[in-house]
Homo-oligomer: A and B are copies of this chain.
Amino acid sequence: MGYKIAFIGSGNVASNLAHAMDKAGHTILQIISSREDHAKLLASQFGAYYGTDIAKLDDHADFVIIGVNDEAYYSVLENIPPDISSIVCHSAGPVSMDILSKYAKNYGVLYPLQSLRKEEIINFNSLPLFIEANSLRNLDALSNLADSISNVVKEVSSEEREKYHLAAVFANNFTNLMYTIADEYLQNQSLDFNYLLPIINETANRLKYDKPKNWQTGPAKRGDISIIQKHIDMLDDSQLKTIYKQLSDLIGSR
């Protein structure tokens, strides 16, 4: 027997969670989104109700899962029907569970620690799902739901989740910035970033074998001051020169 699930939001997180839960045998009851066309498209894949009015949330839903941009959370919450009995969950890394306490009796968090996009519906089997709930009973239910779609479910407090989110900014957002800097530099030199893809993948994939610190290589690690200075000279953007120097210093000090 599966749960009945309503979604608020029709973007990257909602789309991926809805597909994973549908596949696991749960019933996608409703998709409610400010973007009616998106809601309609997503709902049509599950024969679900769609709409734009949060006041029409079906109280038969076991879970209401909010998957909207961080900025939209408060306006969504204000519109949740008072006395809703569903377990209302948000799915945001840096948002505390407590913001839900004013709006629902039963609430929790279901946070997929992955960068999701609706254009690619992924397999959740090995995707970390961090869960949190306001009561043991709600945690049990949320745990069952999460276990039905992923093998990597962990109870994580709001405070811990914020710390994971900070770490992910380095490991994901700032890493992607490093890729962007490399790409833009090569493009300016009429060279091809695609030649770097094998080394980029190797750098990421090898982390399963050892800690990143033990994989560190390069001029800064070797203390090769002449190459470091040459690279700084080769960069023509003063912000990049500063970043190159500071990151090299940081590697050298470790």
Chain B, residue nearest A69 (CB): B222
Is the pair B170, A181 in contact by a Cβ cutoff of 8 Å? Answer: yes
Q: In the complex, what residues of B have CB within 8 A of residue A115's CB?
A: 199, 202-203, 215, 217
Q: Judge if A121 is at the interface, Cβ distance under 8 Å.
A: no
Is the pair A197, B202 in contact by a Cβ cutoff of 8 Å? Answer: no
Among A130, A160, A164, A220, residue most surrounded by chain B Cβ atoms (within 10 Å): A164
- A231 → chain B closest CB, angstroms: 5
The tally of residues in A whose CB lies under 8 Å from a CB in B reads 82
- A194 → chain B closest CB, angstroms: 8
Is the pair A197, B207 in contact by a Cβ cutoff of 8 Å? Answer: yes
Chain B, residue nearest A243 (CB): B246
Is the pair B164, A196 in contact by a Cβ cutoff of 8 Å? Answer: yes
Interface of A is mostly: helix
Is the pair B172, A199 in contact by a Cβ cutoff of 8 Å? Answer: yes
Is the pair A128, B167 in contact by a Cβ cutoff of 8 Å? Answer: no
- A249 → chain B closest CB, angstroms: 8
- A173 → chain B closest CB, angstroms: 3
Q: Judge if A44 is at the interface, Cβ distance under 8 Å.
A: no
Is the pair B198, A207 in contact by a Cβ cutoff of 8 Å? Answer: no
Q: In the complex, what residues of B have CB within 8 A of residue A144's CB?
A: none
- A227 → chain B closest CB, angstroms: 5
Indicate which residue in B183, B216, B218 contacts A180 across the interface (CB closer than 8 Å).
B216
Q: Judge if A59 is at the interface, Cβ distance under 8 Å.
A: no
Query: Mind listing 20 A-B residue pairs with CB under 8 Å?
Result: A69-B222, A114-B202, A128-B195, A130-B195, A152-B195, A166-B231, A167-B182, A167-B193, A167-B196, A169-B219, A169-B220, A170-B182, A170-B185, A171-B179, A172-B196, A172-B203, A175-B200, A180-B212, A183-B211, A204-B205
